[in-house]
Amino acid sequence: MKTMLRGVSGPLRLLLALTLLAAACGAPAGPPESAGGTEPEPPATEADGTEPPGEAETAGGTEAADGTEAALPDEPVTLNVIDVAGNLQLTQPMIDAYAEANPDKVAQINYEQAPSPDLAGRIQAQQEGGNLQTDLVLTGTDGLAAGIEFDLWEEIVSRYTDTGADLEQILLPPALDMQGLAQDYGVVVTYYPSGPLLEYDPEQVDDPPTTPDELLAFAEANPGKFQYARPANSGPGRTFIMGLPYLLDDADPMDPENGWENTWAFLEDLGEHIEYYPTGTTQTMTELGQGTRAMLASTTGWDINPRALGTVPKEVEVAFFDDFTWVADAHYFVVPKGVDDAKMAVLLDLLAWIHQPEENAKAYDAGYFYPGPAVNGAELSMAPPESQAILEEFGRPEYEQAIADNPIEVPLDAEQLVQAFEIWDRRIGQGKVQEEDG
């Protein structure tokens, strides 16, 4: 597995990557467009009766930066949380439940949402000015990468495992793979396999494609009826292009510049039959709902959530490519350097709380990041009743089998993804990208 920043030449290139990455939504957010990604009670015990991960630590302390024990505070603290990935839609109910259950530890939680490209400069300015105002960052891989590049984050993985937490036991295997992208600087709290999927109107499509060749044949026979959004602005768009190298037997799915010869040729051929590329996934969903398009590139979250919201008819269907590979996505719990030991102790306690299966099951939400939970044992039966009802009505039983039967890979790292965006803009999208109305 590649580390996230291998090969990054410096801050300017990374900032370009981050600007593009932040524009690309990972799943429908807040209903319905997010980055990395997002759209939206009591502690559990494990099946063997043992305490959930981290629970045994709540009465004591955690290791401080100087190696001494950082005790939980005598007085409750105020936590300032910033979300640059739409993650609060999934995790705010978990965080609020922690605060309610622990008034001796948390006096107040202040939430803020901000664009991911602003994150690194904002945190760096606070740190350099000696006025850190952010205690917890919820981010996708883009914001995480920025902070690693500029040395902004605490090595929270080591701090967390020092409390006794075992991420190999806590996280689902594909979420653990996503954890590897974080190096030592962030901990996965939510995860989904994403796509690529084909979403289609069954009134217009009788026999959906199951191979790239069949998709190309459909597009040739039905000009303008297939669409995907510009990858730099769309989670389904970027997942579609990242998934194609596995389907087309390219030389290296992790090297868009030198290893995607078949993918770029395919996308050029496909593009001859695409009317235009929107700059956001929402526009593609709107046009599918209106009947202007018959088929789109999609993901699990973009399938379920817009149907639950009514943007897309409930009757719309999805198709899987034969022998495809999922390209995953995740959100991370990140702490800026400079957070004091008392707050750090509470944050590590909060992280252990989020990793309890009955809390993490709240990430099922309204299908926005489906499935959503990152931890072993977080079953749908543990999710809030409203989430269960939405997924009962709008979820798809076939997803469980498709997730089990197909490999799941990590996405491109920051530099490789911006290379893919640049090549796509130059070879595929030039002259055919159209801004969304309004």
Give the span between the Cα atoms of 196 and 212, in whole angstroms: 12
CA dihedral (23, 28, 33, 35) positive or negative: negative
Indicate whether 214 belongs to any domain: yes
Give the span between the Cα atoms of 281 and 23, in whole angstroms: 11
- Tell whether 18 and 56 lie within a shared domain: yes
- Tell whether 254 and 181 lie within a shared domain: no
CA dihedral (258, 259, 262, 263) positive or negative: negative
**343-375 as b/e, with b when 16 or more CB fall inside 10 Å?**
bbbbbbbbbbbbbbbbbbbbbbbbbbbbbbbbb
Average of pLDDT values for 324-330?
96
Q: Sort 12 into a burial class: Cβ within 10 Å, 0-12 / 13-18 / 19+.
A: exposed
Average of pLDDT values for 44-57?
35
- The predicted pLDDT at position 173 comes to 96
Give the span between the Cα atoms of 194 and 372, in whole angstroms: 10
Instruction: Label residue 70 by pLDDT band (50, 70, 90).
Output: low
Cα-based distances in Å from 275 to 91, 271, 279, 355, 431: 38, 8, 13, 45, 11
- The predicted pLDDT at position 201 comes to 98
Is the whole-model pTM more than 0.85? Answer: no
Average of pLDDT values for 271-275?
98
How high is the mean pLDDT of the chain? 86
Q: What is the CA radius of gyration of the chain?
A: 21
Indicate whether 205 belongs to any domain: yes
Nearest 5°: CA angle at 124, between 123 and 126? 65
Instruction: Label residue 235 by pLDDT band (50, 70, 90).
Output: confident
- Tell whether 344 and 298 lie within a shared domain: no
Indicate whether 178 belongs to any domain: yes
- Tell whether 244 and 295 lie within a shared domain: yes
Secondary-structure percent of the chain, ordered helix, strand, coil, rounded to 5: 45, 15, 40
* 155 pLDDT above the threshold of 50: yes
Indicate whether 357 belongs to any domain: yes
Q: How many residues comprise the chain?
A: 438
Instruction: Label residue 27 by pLDDT band (50, 70, 90).
Output: low
- Tell whether 142 and 199 lie within a shared domain: no
- Tell whether 212 and 361 lie within a shared domain: no
- Tell whether 68 and 55 lie within a shared domain: yes
- Tell whether 33 and 169 lie within a shared domain: yes
- The predicted pLDDT at position 6 comes to 30
- The predicted pLDDT at position 11 comes to 39
Average of pLDDT values for 152-165?
97
CATH number at 167 reads 3.40.190.10
Indicate whether 91 belongs to any domain: yes
Q: What is the pLDDT of residues 188-207, one digit of tens each?
A: 999 999 999 999 999 999 99
Indicate whether 428 belongs to any domain: yes
Average of pLDDT values for 139-162?
91
- Tell whether 266 and 381 lie within a shared domain: no
Say whether 383 sits in a helix, a strand or coil.
Answer: coil
Q: How many domains does the chain have?
A: 2
Contact 330, 190 (CB under 8 A): yes
Which tokens hold the place of 210? 């199951």
* 126 pLDDT above the threshold of 90: yes
Give the span between the Cα atoms of 40 and 93, in whole angstroms: 10
Instruction: Label residue 389 by pLDDT band (50, 70, 90).
Output: very high
Contact 199, 307 (CB under 8 A): no
Indicate whether 402 belongs to any domain: no
- Tell whether 262 and 378 lie within a shared domain: no
Contact 140, 35 (CB under 8 A): yes
* 142 pLDDT above the threshold of 90: no
Domain containing 335: what range?
A: 11-193+329-395
- The predicted pLDDT at position 14 comes to 43
Measured from the Cβ of residue 208, the count of other Cβ atoms closer than 10 Å reads 18
Average of pLDDT values for 242-253?
98
Per residue, the 3-state secondary structure of 224-248, as one string, reads CCEECCCHHHCHHHHHHHHHHHHHC
Q: Which residue has the higher pLDDT, 219 or 181?
A: 219
User: Phi-psi region for residue 84, left (φ > 0), alpha (ψ -120 to 50) or beta?
Assistant: alpha
* 25 pLDDT above the threshold of 90: no
Strand partners, 278: 434
* 53 pLDDT above the threshold of 50: no
Q: Sort 22 into a burial class: Cβ within 10 Å, 0-12 / 13-18 / 19+.
A: buried
* 248 pLDDT above the threshold of 50: yes
User: Phi-psi region for residue 164, left (φ > 0), alpha (ψ -120 to 50) or beta?
Assistant: left
* 45 pLDDT above the threshold of 60: no
- Tell whether 105 and 201 lie within a shared domain: no
Percent of the chain clearing pLDDT 70 (strictly above): 83
Indicate whether 1 belongs to any domain: no
Average of pLDDT values for 143-159?
92
- The predicted pLDDT at position 436 comes to 59
- Beta strands 277-278 and 187-195 are unpaired
- Tell whether 265 and 377 lie within a shared domain: no
